[in-house]
Structure 1
Amino acid sequence: MEIPGPFAAARDLVDRVARRSPARLAVAVFAGVVLIVTFLLWQPAATVDGERPSLVTALFTATSAVCVTGLTVENTATYWSTYGQVVIVVAIKVGGLGVMTLASILGLAVSRRIGLTQRLLTASETKTNRLGEVGSLIRAVIAASVAIEVLLAIILFPRFLTLGVPVGQSAWEATFLAISIFNNAGFVIMPEGMLPYVGDWWMCLPIVVGTFIGAIGFPVILNLWQNRYRLHKLALHTKLTLTTSFGLFVGAVVLIGAFEWFNPLTFGDQPVATRILASLVAGVTPRSSGFSTVEVGEMREATWFLTDALMFVGGGSASTAGGIKVTTLAVMLLAIIAEARGDRDINAYGRRINRSTLRLAVAVSFIGATTVGLATLALLSMTRLTLDVVLFEVISAFATCGLSTGITAGLPDGAKLVLAALMFFGRTGTMTLAAALALRSRRRVIRLPEERPIIG
């Protein structure tokens, strides 16, 4: 069937952009989704009182939802209507699919195929080495995410019923929370948030497990499924992601538990079992989920500093988590170990990691740290807040985590826009955005003589 003129022209335009710069197309699509969600939330029907929200509130909430962050300037349960909450949860679902995955789906829908260049970039984003796996990975992403979200909703639904919530409302709250958990979004539609459930194992364990699964990344999930009967065949990326993620999780649980164990404003007045559960939740949420069963603003400064570091690292590549990613940290740590031992190569699990991967890890870390530093300076100049709370909020936005010390709602509009830009930058990815903005790549024919400057 012949496609009508305007649609054919649009298809050809998108196809040309996808061929020339698929990374730019991906960022443009993501920005377009944010603008659409902003417009939908800007309507009077999106609020409980029927009054149109401010444009900054709509834009900030839309960016937070699409970028699966969880930072809010209004209470999601009491400010937004059912229509507004539906818009938010759909935005979370779309954002959780990821930048390159979303762009590839758009390419399939419009041009009915994925170009070679787009396959290459999608493979790079999803860490898939074989181009033939890109299409299957997209299908696996959608199938896996829906399956896990349905399972989480089925687990949570009876719990809401036992709390006396009506059946329809229980189904809605369980579904919303399940999507928010797996996509590491941090949004909740319970008026008091997660604070009343600090000792509720039935409510909190799905958060711990769902967050961890969502944060390890779709390539890891797919690789684990494909090699479930032969774990020795797991890819190096999978092994690095799992070991680093688990190590960070255990370390976070132990240290945060130790820091807050006797703090009467957080864990101190709770039974031992509740303190353990609160430690588990607090240890996993910096991966990027943003759920908190205690007041983050009442935590000790040592806990804030540790959480800053954990949020900056984030979760796995091509996952619903943000940050510089755990494999980036793993590669740099392995490089330090290799340098300390005097080894020429960077080795892990019987494989050698090439130098270009290390350069990429350093670049990602430096760009992330520079972005956080500049945003922190901007917020300090706009407010009279102290460095500790500003840095916490900035890293939470950049890492699309959503944990907050409680200052977001009171920030001036300019500071809110800075955080919104940080959320967008953190979700689209430092390297993806850099590729989207690059006019051309440089290729040197002549290599200059080598010389080593003095380091340290």
Structure 2
Amino acid sequence: MRKTRLSHPGRIIPLAFLLVIALGTVVLMLPAARAAPGHAPFIVALFTATSAVCVTGLAATDTATYWSAFGQATILILAQIGGLGIMTGATLLGLLVSRRLGLATRLIAQAETRSLRLGDVTTVLRLILTVTLVMEATTMAALTLRFRYAYDQTWGEALWHGLCHAVFAFNHAGFSTYSDNLMRFARDPFVLTPIMLTVMIGSLGFPVIHELAYGARRPSRWSVHGKMTLFGSALLLLVGFVAVAAYEWDNTATIGALAWPEKLFNAAFHSVMTRSAGFNAVDVGKMKLTTLMVSDALMLIGGGSAGTAGGIKITTFLILGFVVWAEIRGEEDTTAFRRRISQQAQRQALSVVLLAVGIIAIGVLIMLSLTDFAFETVLFEVVSAFATTGLSTGITPQLPAPALAVLTCLMFLGRVGTITVASVLALKERRSAFRYPEERPIVG
């Protein structure tokens, strides 16, 4: 009975998402959801619903022309439900994990993290809802005014495009109501900047936002999780910016034809979008191989925990980095920001990364068997799906139904699986009644 109860947290979120995906698929298969006569094929509706609920943004069709206003509204609602559900579920699972610890450990954890009040779920949920609505409303207002006065759209058109891109941006679902995504706005910082800021805030994760919102504004008072997330985000954004600017500077098919301030701005924009947002202001399919490889790495790492971003998460990546650094220096303990990282956290991080790499490898192998696209293109598509980023080199609409089914599974596993696996690993911590003799295999 106890085992059954403990398994519930690992089952509730996947089952809830499967239910919403199923309902979304049925609605998108209605003739009213498609702009042309007839209904969407099952695989197209399933793929789109999964991409929306898992806030990915990969599209098997042109969202702007294939789906009717009703269909686009359905995708919008699915993305909003998926974003709120993921954030709420991840936060609640984090609270549940903390409550499974002993009283002394919980008090230490509370003093150390200062990010979530263990007994105040209402405060956390209120913060999630408030930040979501405020960020989406602010972004929508900025975009609506820009679309109305700079592009001569009617108030209805401007409001609709502003609402869609605000919701998709904060929830990191890279859908767009424009056929070229955001490429027509590559020279317009007044459109791209609000989207960038919304994506950056959403990628921090609500534990960090909660920590900053409730008094811990001085860096000296930030928790290790907060420091890792903020430091890691800044570092990865800088690395992505420098890499994209350096590799694409002379590529006239992407940023090469732009003025130098626009080159720098679009390099920064692409770096931010690899946080799992999925919008593109330049043609990703024409980027150099080196840029695609850097993007693969950034997408896989993703953003902060318990937020709208995907990937293995920044803290997971940094924990393993600190483990390697401690091993290089011959230190027994792994430390970060003058705090010792527990062995449990190290094992959980290693497990999540190895599972992610294994799933991606299997996904690439299957996709290569089903398509004739180049390895680097397939790898980019698989990583984007698993990391729920939504960036694409443009091959998604050309994929056969079996390949779309593979990407559908990857999006679901990437969005739900990493949260579930990390929580289940934490919930199942226990001390064995006996220990085997120790032996050291040769490593390296």
Same fold (TM over 0.5): yes
Identify unmatched segments of 5+ residues in structure 2: none
2:49–2:75 contact (8 Å) kept in structure 1: yes
Once the two structures are TM-superposed, the CA of residue 437 in structure 1 deviates from its matched residue by 11
The CA deviation at 1:402 is 0.4
Q: Which amino acid aligns with 1:85?
A: Q
Superposition deviation, residue 430 in structure 1: 2.7
Structural mapping, 1:334-345, within 5 Å = 334-345=322-333
Q: In structure 2, how many angstroms separate the alpha carbons of the residues matched to 1:104 and 1:400? A: 19
Alignment partner, residue 371 of structure 1: 359
Contact kept, 8 Å, 1:214 with 1:321, in 2: the verdict is yes
Report what 1:265 is aligned to: 253
Q: How does 1:282-321 map to 2 (within 5 A)?
A: 282-321=270-309
Residue among 208, 215, 240 paired with 2:228: 240
Question: Paired residue for 1:91?
Answer: 78
> In structure 2, how many angstroms separate the alpha carbons of the residues matched to 1:17 and 1:104?
21
Match of 1:11 in 2: none
Kindly indicate whether the alpha-carbon contact (under 8 Å) linking 2:116 and 2:207 is maintained by their aligned counterparts in 1.
no
Q: Which amino acid aligns with 2:137?
A: V
Cα distance in structure 1, aligned partners of 2:427 and 2:195: 42
**In structure 1, what residue type is equivalent to 2:44?**
T
Which of 346, 354, 364 does residue 358 from structure 1 map onto? Answer: 346
C-alpha separation between the residues in 2 aligned to 1:98 and 1:235? 25
Mapped pair 1:80 → 2:48: no
Deviation at 1:434, TM superposition (A): 7.8
Whole-angstrom CA distance in 1 between matches of 2:410 and 2:136:
27
Work out which of the residue numbers 182, 187, 190 in structure 1 matches 2:175: 187
Range with bigger deviation, 426-435 or 273-282: 426-435
Q: For residues 189 and 52 of structure 2, what CA distance do their matches in structure 1 show?
A: 26
Residue type of the alignment partner of 1:409? P
Q: Give the aligned partner of residue 22 of structure 1.
A: 9
In the alignment, which residue of structure 1 is the partner of 2:145?
A: 158
**AA aligned opposite 2:296:** D
The 5 A counterparts of 1:48-67 are 48-67=35-54
Query: Residues 25 and 103 of structure 1 are in contact (CA less than 8 Å); yes or no, is this contact kept in structure 2?
Result: no
Q: For the Cα contact (< 8 Å) 2:241–2:268, is it kept in 1?
A: yes
Structure 2 residue 393 is matched with structure 1 residue 393: no
Cα contact 1:204–1:277 (8 A) shared by 2: no
The 1:20–1:322 alpha-carbon spacing in structure 2 relative to 1, beyond 3 Å, is closer
**How far off its partner does 1:155 sit?**
1.3
Letter in 1 for 2:248: E
Deviations along 1:28-56, one digit per CA (max 9) or x if unpaired, are 01111111111111100001124200000
Partner of 1:39: 26
CA 1:374 to 1:286, structure 2 compared with 1: closer, same or farther past 3 Å? Answer: same
For residues 119 and 426 of structure 2, the distance between their equivalents in structure 1, rounded to whole angstroms, comes to 27
CA distance 1:257–1:139, shift in 2 (3 Å)? same
| 8 A contact 1:128–1:134 mirrored in 2 | no
Contact kept? 2:57, 2:389, Cα under 8 Å = yes
Quote the Cα distance in structure 2 between the aligned partners of 1:84 and 1:204: 25
Output the TM-score relative to the length of structure 1. Answer: 0.89
CA 1:229–1:400 in 2, change beyond 3 Å: closer, same or farther?
A: closer
Distance 1:49 1:18, change over 3 A: farther
Checking the alignment, whether the CA contact within 8 Å between 1:335 and 1:346 is kept in structure 2 is yes
Which 10-residue stretch deviates more, 134-143 or 292-301? 134-143
Deviation track 1:199-237 (CA, whole Å, cap 9, x = no partner) reads 111011112211111111011111111125544221110
* 1:255 equivalent in alignment to 2:236: no
Matched-pair contact (CA < 8 Å) for 1:66–1:96: yes
Name the CA shift for 1:117/1:204 in 2 (closer, same or farther; >3 Å): closer
- Gaps of at least 5 residues in structure 1 are 1-15, 108-114
The question of 1:149 aligning with 2:136 is answered yes
- How far, CA to CA, are the matches of 2:96 and 2:148 in structure 1? 50
Q: Which amino acid aligns with 1:324?
A: I
How far the C-alpha of 1:117 sits from its partner, in A, is 7.7
- Alpha-carbon distance in structure 2 between the residues aligned to 1:235 and 1:439: 22
**Match of 2:340, SS?**
strand
2:393 match? 405
Distance 2:430 2:440 in 1: 23
Give distance in 2, aligned partners of 1:19 and 1:329: 27
Cα distance change on mapping 1:166 and 1:182 into 2, 3 Å: same
Report the Cα offset of residue 279 of structure 1.
0.5
- AA at the equivalent of 1:180: F
Partner of 1:9: none
**Within 2, Cα distance between the matches of 1:433 and 1:60?**
23
Is the Cα contact below 8 Å between 2:56 and 2:172 reproduced in 1? yes
Give SS of 2:274's match: helix
Name 1:8's counterpart in structure 2.
Answer: none
Q: 1:128 to 1:289 in 2, by over 3 A?
A: same
| Cα distance in structure 1, aligned partners of 2:353 and 2:427 | 22
Query: Matched residues, percent identical?
Result: 40
SS in 2 for 1:216: coil
Structure-1 residue corresponding to 2:196: 208
Q: Distance in 2 between matches of 1:227 and 1:308?
A: 36
Q: Distance in 2 between matches of 1:94 and 1:119?
A: 26
| 2:116–2:211 CA contact under 8 A, matched in 1 | no
Q: CA RMSD in A?
A: 2.7
TM-score, with structure 2 as normaliser: 0.91
Q: Secondary structure at the match of 2:161?
A: helix
Q: Does the aligned pair in 2 maintain the 1:27–1:433 contact within 8 Å?
A: no
1:65-118 CA distance string (max 9 Å, x none):
00000100111111111111111111111111244725999x9xxxxxxx9789
Shift in Å at residue 449 of structure 1? 1.7
Tell me how far 1:440 sits from its aligned partner: 8.3
In structure 2, relative to structure 1, the CA distance for the partners of 1:294 and 1:413 (3 Å cut) is same
Check the 8 A contact 1:71/1:403 in 2, yes or no: yes
Over 3 Å counting, the alpha-carbon distance change for 1:396 and 1:130 in structure 2 is: same
Tell me the residue number matched to 1:381. Answer: 369
Residues 206-215 or 402-411, more deviating: 206-215
Q: How far apart are the structure 2 equivalents of 1:454 and 1:434? A: 28
Counterpart among 336, 341, 344 of residue 348 in structure 1:
336
